[in-house]
Amino acid sequence: MYLKELSEISGISGQEKDVRAYISERIAPLADEIWTDPLGNLIAVKKGRKGDKRLLLAAHMDEVGMMVTRINDDGTLSVMPVGGLRPEVVVGKQVMVGDALIGVIGFKPIHLQKKDTEKIEWSNLRVYCGFANKEEAKENVKIGTYVSFVTKFSENGVFFSGKAFDDRGGCSVLMDVIESIDTPPFDTIFSFVVQEETGLRGSAVVAEQVKPDVAIVVETTTAGDVPELEKYRWATHLGDGPAITFMHRGYVVDPRIFERLVSLAQKAGIPFQYKMRTAGGTDAARFARSLYGVPSGVVSIPCRYIHSPLSVMHRDDYRYTAELIKHVVETGEVIL
């Protein structure tokens, strides 16, 4: 499992180079072909025994974060989100500005806030890095500099916690699978794509290059088992295994692929669950609109608090997701 190392690397949408370098170094010896395309997607191929069909596996390397949009007179930095990040979850968090500069996100002190009138918005948040004034800040920071969370990975034997599990969890699963398989029945393409969080940008570019017959997206998805949320509103539950999606925003999963994923899990004795809410989207929606319309499925690791500075994942959900994806590759049964 590579989740710890992947989680601690900074890789906001458009700045995935360090994530890509880490993955490439470890999987290059295992692939028959490997390359990085002009957009930054990393693509690795394992040749199959039959060679007449192509299976594409996809996980995105990018994470949500922020970007510096203004340097203020007092030396603080204004930021805006890159991807689906809410301002309420970032207040008081430690961040890295660029490659090495540490800062803290601040908001008006609570004892100065007026009840029911103080709304946390990006426009009134500031990143404090210790600069005395605008001139000093401009010597160290430029407009457009990325701002990422500083969160150490930890585990207690059952749960993992860390940042960027969406979708470094999927990236780690793909790395585990390419490491564990020999020669699959069909050509299998492992794609680590860019800029999913800003509009599913990288996946269409991958599809154009490899022209798959079927694509399976390996994602991390939201859990619902959090305080004060009624059970009927849960999307997934930690500890119940990988979530198999039948529909999400922008795409209804091809029923043949959905049924074959379910059948594979059942035959292998792998616990699984259905994703019971249809909010959120994945690269499967982009694949469906690419080329001739690539039939796609989605398998996800349930995770609490995604798109925040710290997420929580169950060890068994990760393990069973990797097992299911390995069965998908080794059997080739999702190929239509």
Residue type, 39: L
* DSSP code for 84: S
* Contacts by residues 174-179 (CB-CB < 8 Å, ≥ 24 positions apart): 174/57, 174/59, 174/218, 174/325, 175/2, 175/23, 175/26, 175/27, 176/1, 176/2, 176/322, 176/326, 177/57, 177/322, 177/325, 177/326, 177/329, 178/27, 178/30, 178/31, 178/44, 178/46, 179/27, 179/30
Distance between CA atoms of 302 and 240, rounded to whole angstroms?
9
- In the residue annotation, 196 being an active-site residue is answered as yes
Q: Is 136 helix (H, G, I), strand (E, B) or coil?
A: helix
Element (H, E) at 121: none
Given 16, 63, 196, 219, which residue is catalytic? 196
Q: Which residues contact 200 (CB under 8 A, 6 or more apart)?
A: 281, 282, 283, 285, 286
Supply the residues annotated as catalytic: 196
